[in-house]
């Protein structure tokens, strides 16, 4: 007799390591580890969440119809081709289950979001990483890694943790270089933060092409990470596939009502964006002033390169002892880097003061 054995690939998975939210022995921590919005969710989303607590015995709307209508209206998408999930993670995972399996290859960029290889292995497929240029996805490198077995290409745009992005013409070149039977998934988790003219979140690509899906999240600028809410905008046939595979009640009722309230409160997201537009450049410049390499970012976080693994790790530990939580990047093949999210004004100043102290520059 042998014990139950998981399918091939499962035990090759390096489990995802999330950011910390507490430090032993430190009462007030500064959390800059998970790219959450420092301004929190819309007060209207909190009110909707609280009001929903009266109806916990009722199943949610399994089609999330009102939520999809609200999303469609705000983002200019056809609501019938939106599929919601428990975080965009779930949507990414369902896409993987639907289109890849043993023997298939799933392509991503070397320093791309770490969940892609995890989900690829989870379905028995082989994750294939394409090299980057200056910590940016490289279209030629991605296309050169395509084989007969390639089924999916995942691109976070902008990418976490590098903060870089592909402009629309490069994105088009990537899509046009792929066979029609390969699905391009554009993960636009940070789209709301990008203020560049040559950027597209990807709605237009989905409307134009049968092999492109865009995924979005409520975990970042909308401030609802705890509720787990994300969505995909798909060609009709792909939406149909995802709706067959997903759980019938995969998006809980609280997430649906809070999501609608959050999406309607444009004042709140405008405030979050304004905050980021001030403090992202401030943080980038301040880190540069400390002699560190802060990679230019269009998201709500900065990747800081120390050039040496021990220096990155020492800085991380020093900050942690001060109650400032950043993120180590070993799992992204960037062990000499830390990723730091944009926080509140006093948090940004506490971070740079602490780093200055650590580096002996204060």
Ligand X SMILES: *Cc1c(COP(=O)(O)O)cnc(C)c1O
Binding site for ligand X (CB under 6 A): 35, 87-89, 113, 156, 160, 187, 189, 217, 219-220, 225, 230
Q: Which is nearer to ligand X, 132 or 350 (CB)?
A: 132
Q: Of all residues in this chain, which one has the CB nearest to ligand X in the complex?
A: 87
Q: Which is nearer to ligand X, 201 or 355 (CB)?
A: 201
Reference 216, options 24, 361, 88; nearest CA is 88
The least CB distance from residue 274 to ligand X, in Å, is: 21
The least CB distance from residue 191 to ligand X, in Å, is: 11
Q: Which is nearer to ligand X, 18 or 25 (CB)?
A: 18
Tokens of 151: 């089924």
- DSSP calls for 154-205: EEESS-TTT-----HHHHHHHHHHS-TTSEEEEE-TTGGG---TT---SHHH
d(CA 141, CA 170): 12
The least CB distance from residue 95 to ligand X, in Å, is: 12
Q: Which is nearer to ligand X, 223 or 230 (CB)?
A: 230
Q: Which is nearer to ligand X, 99 or 332 (CB)?
A: 332
Q: Which is nearer to ligand X, 104 or 187 (CB)?
A: 187
Contact 295, 164 (CB under 8 A): yes
Tokens of 117: 């290889």
Contact residues for 108 (Cβ-Cβ < 8 A; gap 6+)? 116, 117, 127, 128, 129, 130, 153, 154, 155
d(CA 122, CA 136): 26
The least CB distance from residue 290 to ligand X, in Å, is: 25
The least CB distance from residue 157 to ligand X, in Å, is: 9
The least CB distance from residue 273 to ligand X, in Å, is: 17
Tokens of 356: 């200055």
Q: Which is nearer to ligand X, 35 or 211 (CB)?
A: 35
Contact 144, 174 (CB under 8 A): no
Verify cis geometry, omega within 30 degrees of 0, for the bond prior to 233. no
The least CB distance from residue 109 to ligand X, in Å, is: 11
Cα torsion angle, 195, 196, 197, 203, sign:
negative
């Amino acid at each position: 007799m042998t014990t139950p054995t998981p399918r091939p690939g499962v035990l090759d998975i390096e489990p995802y390591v999330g950011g910390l939210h507490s430090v032993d022995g430190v009462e007030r921590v500064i959390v800059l580890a998970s790219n959450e919005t420092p301004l929190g969710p819309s007060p209207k989303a909190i009110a909707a969440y609280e009001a929903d607590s009266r109806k916990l015995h009722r199943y949610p709307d399994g089609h999330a119809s009102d939520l999809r209508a609200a999303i469609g209206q705000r983002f200019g998408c056809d609501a019938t081709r939106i599929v919601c999930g428990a975080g965009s993670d779930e949507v990414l995972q369902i896409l993987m289950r639907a289109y890849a399996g043993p023997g298939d290859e799933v392509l991503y960029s070397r320093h791309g979001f770490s969940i892609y290889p995890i989900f690829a292995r989870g379905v028995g497929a082989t994750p294939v990483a394409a090299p980057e240029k200056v910590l940016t996805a490289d279209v030629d490198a991605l296309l050169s890694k395509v084989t007969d077995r390639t089924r999916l290409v995942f691109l976070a745009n902008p990418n976490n943790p590098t903060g870089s992005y592909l402009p629309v013409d490069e994105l088009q070149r990537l899509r046009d270089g792929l066979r029609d039977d390969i699905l391009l998934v554009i993960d636009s988790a940070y789209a709301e933060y990008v203020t560049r003219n040559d950027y597209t979140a990807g709605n237009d690509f989905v409307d134009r092409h049968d092999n492109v899906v865009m995924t979005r999240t409520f975990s970042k600028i909308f401030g609802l990470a705890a509720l787990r809410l994300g969505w995909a905008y798909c060609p009709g046939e792909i939406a149909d596939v995802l709706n067959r595979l997903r759980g019938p009640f995969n998006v809980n009722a609280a997430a649906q009502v809070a999501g609608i309230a959050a999406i309607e409160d444009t004042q709140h997201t405008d405030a979050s964006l304004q905050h980021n537009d001030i403090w992202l450049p401030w943080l980038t410049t301040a880190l540069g002033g400390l002699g560190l390499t802060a990679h230019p970012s269009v998201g709500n976080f900065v990747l800081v390169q120390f050039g040496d693994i021990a220096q990155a790790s020492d800085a991380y530990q020093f900050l942690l002892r001060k109650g400032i939580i950043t993120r180590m990047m070993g799992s992204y093949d960037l062990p000499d880097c830390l990723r730091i999210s944009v926080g509140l004004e006093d948090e940004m100043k506490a971070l740079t003061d602490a780093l200055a102290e650590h580096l002996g520059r204060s």
